[in-house]
């Protein structure tokens, strides 16, 4: 059985030349003969860079992660680096996570760089993604690469590119690099390594990163409070096991229970359906241990250790998983308090978050006289703010998808330092007779009770991609005029960079890079954002609703009303 699409066959047959290895050619032939649908999925486009670099299913073809697609990226990047840094010794750092084939693919990437006379610092074993960001600056590199697919399913892998500031690639470098890559033939890839240019790194960078994490993530919490805090930690088979336990111990947290069944790195993630700490099921084992040990806090990190899920005890003593917005609010409050109490707030500080995160963070930040900045989804944009505003001091920032960054020593979301910060807050609150959860509710009484929900609709493959595009076209051509009985008063279209005020019929420009995002606001402050995922076959809808909260005691009643409101919105808008 053969595909009836000649353009797919033509692209596939290019991979049957002797540029490609025998195993690749054999698999291409098998797909041509036996699986035309999979062949089409593998070749209908080139794998693309999204919000978190390039991610995709591993396999043969232009739309898959393999030695040739990553080799082509790396050859293009080598050429681009030489253009960008003429007459300079170019150095890159490379790290990889626990995923299947990550170590082998990292060596392919190192080989290509070295074949292009570029010096490579290659981590000898798997390491957290934030450590790679740190290493780029620590080793004075012009670029960094990490092989990871974050919390995607086991069949995925990916390729994230960092620039000399330690932040991910952003405009104009990203489009310039993509042009170079797209104009390359696979025959131009230099795979023959110069081993003399590949240097293995480990303990020296580990030590420096751990010390910087402790310096940035711990404060004046009494040592007795740290020792008294009972922590359950799980690495979910990922890279954080190489760093988080050590950092917690260095900071004085000695009462740490590690989920042993999930300690060993494993790209198949055998004990979980998904290694995503956003999902309560992923922390099931940790929560069971927490109840057995009467722990105060549970923390789980994703495979590359840039996101963290935090569970704490509620007012009834039950463990509850906080969402990313809630964790971010308490962390930011704590940092702002620390800066204020240390007389470090001079009027040139800022906090940053993303356009799909909770609006409550702005209320909190500005109450401290600190500037609040908002960017597109993805920590590369927060890192760019730090780079673009050297006159400002970055306090911290996060996004709803369970990521946080403390200070600017790392320029990406960092679950190592954020884990330490969460434990620091929990220890200090417990020592004062308060709690992490109680403080969250107190913040709701001060700044308004905000409740958010994310709806992700999975749309796989070619047809799914078309469906996602059409859904956003429909939202633009037939915009919602009313949501749950509230008039829509503002629509922000980040693709056209236009904000339309429906009350006075005026338009204003949006001073943020273009992106395929739509945000609706109602007269009562309900906010709904829609965007396609940059790393997964999904369209995402972010719902935010709010009300006043007069006391902590009334939280459950008011929270229930907001839950009912979100349920009505989902039903009305047919969002799953």
Same domain for 258 and 299?
yes
Same domain for 355 and 482?
no
For the stretch 74-105, pLDDT in tens is: 999 999 999 999 999 999 999 999 999 999 99
Same domain for 425 and 277?
yes
- Average pLDDT for 195-205: 97
**Tokens in use for 35?**
């699986």
The boundaries of the domain holding residue 331 are 208-447
The torsion angles phi and psi of 535, rounded to 5 degrees, stand at: -135, -10
Sorting pLDDT into bands at 50, 70 and 90, what band is 174? confident
Residue 511's CATH number = 3.30.310
From the list 443, 468, 441, 452, the residue with the least C-alpha distance to 527 is 452
pLDDT above 90: percentage of residues in the chain: 92
**Which of 201, 228, 256 lies at the terminal end of a domain, its last residue?**
201
For the stretch 210-267, pLDDT in tens is: 999 999 999 999 999 999 999 999 999 999 999 999 999 999 999 999 999 999 999 9
pTM recorded for the entire structure: 0.95
Give the catalytic positions in this structure: 150
The pLDDT value given to residue 374: 97
Overall domain count for the chain:
4
**Which of 9, 24, 44 lies at the terminal end of a domain, its last residue?**
44
Same domain for 481 and 384?
no
**Tokens in use for 63?**
């739309």
The pLDDT value given to residue 51: 58
Same domain for 382 and 340?
yes
Same domain for 515 and 423?
no
Is 393's pLDDT higher than 60?
A: yes
- Average pLDDT for 342-369: 97
Same domain for 327 and 414?
yes
Average pLDDT over the chain, rounded to an integer: 95
Same domain for 195 and 136?
yes
DSSP per position, 433-481:
T--HHHHHHHHHHHH-EEEEEEEEEE--HHHHHHHHHHHHHHHHHS--S
Same domain for 337 and 317?
yes
∠ at Cα 489 (485, 493), nearest 5°? 120
DSSP per position, 93-158:
EEEE-SSTTHHHHHHHHHHHHHHTT-EEEEESS---HHHHHHHHHHTT-SEEEEE--TTS-TTEEE
Same domain for 554 and 437?
no
The pLDDT value given to residue 205: 98
Residue 285's CATH number = 3.40.120.10
- Average pLDDT for 308-317: 97
- Average pLDDT for 206-210: 98
* Residues 6 or more apart in contact with residue 410 via CB below 8 angstroms: 130, 133, 134, 166, 212, 417
Same domain for 124 and 219?
no
**Which of 146, 170, 201 lies at the terminal end of a domain, its last residue?**
201
Sorting pLDDT into bands at 50, 70 and 90, what band is 49? confident
Same domain for 462 and 534?
yes
């Amino acid at each position: 059985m053969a595909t009836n699409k000649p353009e797919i066959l033509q692209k596939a047959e290019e991979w049957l030349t002797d540029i490609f290895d025998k195993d690749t050619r054999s698999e291409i032939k098998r797909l041509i003969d036996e699986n035309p649908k999979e062949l089409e999925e593998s070749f209908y486009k080139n794998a693309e860079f999204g919000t978190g670099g390039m991610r995709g299913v591993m396999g043969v073809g232009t739309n898959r992660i393999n030695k040739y697609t990553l080799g082509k990226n790396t050859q293009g990047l080598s050429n681009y680096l030489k253009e960008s840094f003429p007459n300079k010794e170019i150095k890159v750092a490379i790290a990889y996570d626990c995923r299947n084939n990550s170590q082998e693919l990292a060596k392919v990437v190192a080989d290509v760089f070295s074949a292009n006379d570029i010096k490579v610092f290659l981590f000898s074993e798997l390491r957290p993604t934030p450590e790679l960001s740190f290493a780029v600056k620590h080793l004075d590199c012009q670029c960094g690469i990490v092989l990871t697919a974050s919390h995607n399913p086991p069949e995925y892998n990916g390729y994230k590119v960092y620039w000399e500031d330690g932040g991910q690639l952003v405009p104009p470098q990203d489009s310039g690099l993509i042009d170079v890559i797209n104009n390359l033939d696979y025959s131009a890839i230099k795979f023959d390594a110069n081993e003399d240019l590949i240097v293995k790194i480990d303990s020296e960078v580990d030590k420096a990163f751990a010390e910087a994490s402790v310096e940035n993530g711990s404060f004046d919490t009494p040592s007795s409070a740290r020792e008294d805090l009972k922590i359950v930690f799980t690495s979910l088979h990922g890279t954080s096991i190489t760093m988080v336990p050590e950092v917690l111990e260095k900071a004085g947290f000695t009462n740490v229970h590690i989920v042993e069944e999930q300690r060993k790195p494993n790209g198949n993630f055998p004990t979980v359906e998904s290694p995503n700490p956003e999902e309560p099921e992923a922390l099931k084992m940790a929560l069971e241990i927490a109840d057995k040990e009467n722990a105060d806090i549970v923390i789980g990190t994703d495979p590359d250790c840039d996101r963290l899920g935090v569970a704490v005890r509620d007012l009834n003593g039950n463990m509850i998983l906080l969402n990313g917005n809630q964790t971010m609010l308490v962390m930011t409050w704590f940092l702002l308090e620390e800066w204020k109490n240390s007389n470090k707030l001079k009027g040139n500080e800022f906090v940053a978050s993303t356009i799909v995160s909770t609006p409550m963070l702005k209320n909190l930040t500005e109450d401290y006289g600190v500037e609040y900045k908002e960017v597109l989804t993805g920590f590369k944009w927060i890192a760019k703010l730090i780079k673009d505003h050297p006159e400002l001091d970055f306090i911290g920032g996060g996004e709803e998808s369970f990521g946080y960054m403390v200070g600017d020593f790392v320029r990406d979301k960092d679950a190592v330092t954020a884990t330490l910060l969460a434990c620091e807050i929990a220890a200090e609150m417990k020592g004062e007779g308060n709690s992490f959860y109680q403080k969250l509710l107190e913040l709701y009484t001060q700044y308004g009770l905000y409740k958010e929900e994310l709806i992700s609709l999975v749309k796989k493959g070619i047809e799914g991609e078309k469906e996602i595009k059409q859904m956003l076209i429909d939202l633009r051509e037939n915009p919602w005029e009313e949501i749950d009985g509230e008039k829509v008063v503002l629509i922000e279209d980040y693709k056209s960079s236009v904000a339309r005020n429906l009350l006075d019929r005026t338009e204003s420009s949006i001073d943020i890079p273009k992106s395929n995002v739509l945000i609706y606001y109602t007269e009562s402050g309900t906010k709904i954002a829609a965007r396609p995922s940059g790393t997964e076959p999904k369209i995402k809808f972010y719902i935010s609703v709010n009300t006043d909260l007069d006391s902590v005691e009334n939280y459950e009643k008011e929270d229930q009303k907001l839950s009912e409101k979100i349920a009505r919105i989902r039903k009305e808008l047919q969002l799953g």
